[in-house]
Structure 1
Amino acid sequence: VMFPRRTIESVELCGTRLPPRTLVFVSAYAQHYRADVWADPDRFDPDRFLPEVEATRPKGSYLPFSAGPRFCIGMHFAMMEGPIVLATLLRRHRFEIDPTREIVADDFATLRPRGGVPAIVRAR
């Protein structure tokens, strides 16, 4: 996902001086894989979102729904819907990733698994 923003004042970005009102596109994907911000960015590590770990990161380093006055209108809905759907599914089913299939990332509008996640689903 790319978030378009305009500079308010003259600013230096990566060694380049940008004048006021310059259109800049922020890549959430690139931001979330910065090795200078994230230790081992390719590794799945839910602990990196613990409050004490989050407090050590620079502001704006994690932008799943953008930021500022133009953040995603669906953010609050998604933050409620995700845990509810997950809890409902986990009450009735067991999920295992199919070990014979590879999961390949596809960076389109959002980062997602190309072709879905091959899983084995069993009733509880």
Structure 2
Amino acid sequence: MSVLGPSFASTVKSSRGLYRFVKPIADRYASLAGYRAHGLKYDDILIEETNTVQKALGRLSERESYDRAFRLRTASMCAIAHKELPKDKWVPVSEDTRYLKPFVVEIEAEQAERKQWDSATKA
């Protein structure tokens, strides 16, 4: 749990009725965002300038780094041409996985632990 309290996402996931209400809205929002139509996954559009994301990108496997670079190049070409990919090339919802989030969470935990150890005093 964060300093601010439980997140809205965990509240929604724990309530079946609320989850059934919010899930279709979230899915519709993700499809309207349009990143899948350009061949991108959600983690491909994270802001890369943060130190945490930079470290997480460094922890990707060689294959996942290559796949990410390919998706970004494909999306750049779509942007230059002002076109979307053909429908059969869009990233399906089932493949839009959070491949970078586990690394980001791990790095944030390491940073919190480091901060805790750095602020420790001798007894």
TM above 0.5, yes or no, is: no
TM-score (norm 1): 0.27
> Which has more strand, going by share of residues?
1
Higher relative contact order (CA closer than 8 Å, sequence separation 6+):
2
> Which has more helix, going by share of residues?
2
